[in-house]
Amino acid sequence: MMGKDSGVMKAWEATVKKTQAVAKKRANSLFGTTSVAHAEEDEKRDDQDGSNHETEVYHAEKVLPNGDYYKGEWEDNFPNGNGKYLWTDGCMYVGEWFKGKTMGKGRFSWPSGPTYEGEFNSGYMDGIGTYTSFNGEVYKGQWIMNLKHGQGVKSFSNGDHYDGEWRRGLQDGQGRYQWKDGNHYVGEWRNGTIWGKGSFFWTNGDSYDGYWEDGFPKGSGTFKWPDESFYVGNWSKDPRDQSGTFYPQGSSQEGHLDWDPQEVFSKLSKYPICPGEKMSILPSQKRLAVWRSTKGGDSGKPRRMSVDTRVSVGLEKPSDRMQLWGGGEGDFSGSRTPTKVGALDEELMGSHINGANPRGTQLNTLKAPRKSKRQGETICKGHKNYDLMLNLQLGIRHSVGRPAPSASLDLKPSAFDPKEKVWTRFPPDGSKYTPPHPSCEFKWKDYCPVVFRTLRKLFKVDAADYMLSICGNDALRELSSPGKSGSFFYLTNDDRYMIKTMKKAEAKALLRMLPAYYNHFRAFENSLLTKFYGLHCVKLTGTAQKKVRFIIMGNLFCSEYTIHRRFDLKGSSLGRITDKPESDISETTILKDLDLNFIFQLQRSWFQEFRRQIDRDCELLEQEGIMDYSLLVGIHFRDISTDGDLIPSGSQTPGGDSEATLCISRADVDQLLLDPSRWANIKLGLNMPAKVERTVRRSDCELQLVGEPIGEFYEVVLFFGIIDILQDYDISKKLEHAYKSIQYDPTSISAVDPRQYSKRFRDFIFRVFSEDS
Quote the percentage of the chain above a pLDDT of 70: 72
> Could you read off the pLDDT of 185-228 as tens digits, one per residue?
999 998 888 988 999 999 989 999 999 888 899 888 899 888 88
Q: Check residue 483 and give its pLDDT.
A: 55
Q: Which of 30-44, 279-293, 384-398, 402-416 has the lowest mean pLDDT?
A: 30-44
Residue type for 607, please? F
Nearest to 146 by CA among 30, 286, 252: 286
Quote the percentage of the chain above a pLDDT of 90: 24
Q: Check residue 736 and give its pLDDT.
A: 61
Q: Check residue 5 and give its pLDDT.
A: 46
Confidence of residue 27 (pLDDT cuts 50, 70, 90): very low
Confidence of residue 337 (pLDDT cuts 50, 70, 90): very low
- The rounded radius of gyration (Å) of the Cα atoms in the chain is 31
Indicate if the pLDDT at residue 242 is higher than 90.
no
For the segment 679-702, the average pLDDT, to the nearest whole number, is 80
Quick one: CATH architecture of 59-157? Alpha-Beta Complex (3.90)
**DSSP string covering 505-531, please?**
HHHHHHHHHHHHHHHHHHH-TT--BPP
- Left (φ > 0), alpha (ψ -120 to 50) or beta: where does 524 sit? beta
For the segment 381-386, the average pLDDT, to the nearest whole number, is 80
Q: Check residue 733 and give its pLDDT.
A: 60
Instruction: Look up the CATH superfamily of 372-555.
Output: Phosphatidylinositol Phosphate Kinase II Beta (3.30.800.10)
Strand partners, 96: 82
Confidence of residue 320 (pLDDT cuts 50, 70, 90): very low
CATH 1.10.10.10 fits 560-649+677-772, yes or no: no
Indicate if the pLDDT at residue 45 is higher than 50.
no
**Cβ-contact 450, 411 below 8 angstroms:** yes
Residue boundaries of the structural domains of the chain: 59-157, 372-555, 560-649+677-772
**DSSP string covering 577-627, please?**
S--S-GGG-BTT-EE-GGG--EEEEE-HHHHHHHHHHHHHHHHHHHHTTB-
Higher pLDDT, 338 or 275: 275
Confidence of residue 306 (pLDDT cuts 50, 70, 90): very low
Confidence of residue 542 (pLDDT cuts 50, 70, 90): low
Q: How far is CA 263 from CA 217, 223, 224, 258, 543, in A?
A: 12, 11, 13, 11, 60
Q: Check residue 745 and give its pLDDT.
A: 55
Q: How far apart are the first and last CA of the chain?
A: 46
Q: Check residue 768 and give its pLDDT.
A: 94
| Cα–Cα dist 530/499, whole Å | 12
Q: Which of 396-410, 499-513, 608-622 has the lowest mean pLDDT?
A: 396-410
Indicate if the pLDDT at residue 310 is higher than 80.
no
**Cβ-contact 39, 68 below 8 angstroms:** no
Q: Which of 27-36, 593-602, 713-722, 743-752 has the lowest mean pLDDT?
A: 27-36
Predicted structure pTM score: 0.59
For the segment 727-736, the average pLDDT, to the nearest whole number, is 65
Q: Check residue 417 and give its pLDDT.
A: 87
Which of the 8 DSSP states describes residue 428? T
For the segment 708-717, the average pLDDT, to the nearest whole number, is 90
Residue type for 221, please? G
Q: How far is CA 155 from CA 59, 140, 142, 611, in A?
A: 39, 9, 15, 33
Nearest to 617 by CA among 608, 626, 605: 626
Give the 3-state secondary structure of 683-717.
ECCECEEEEEEEEECCCCCCCCCCCEEEEEEEEEE
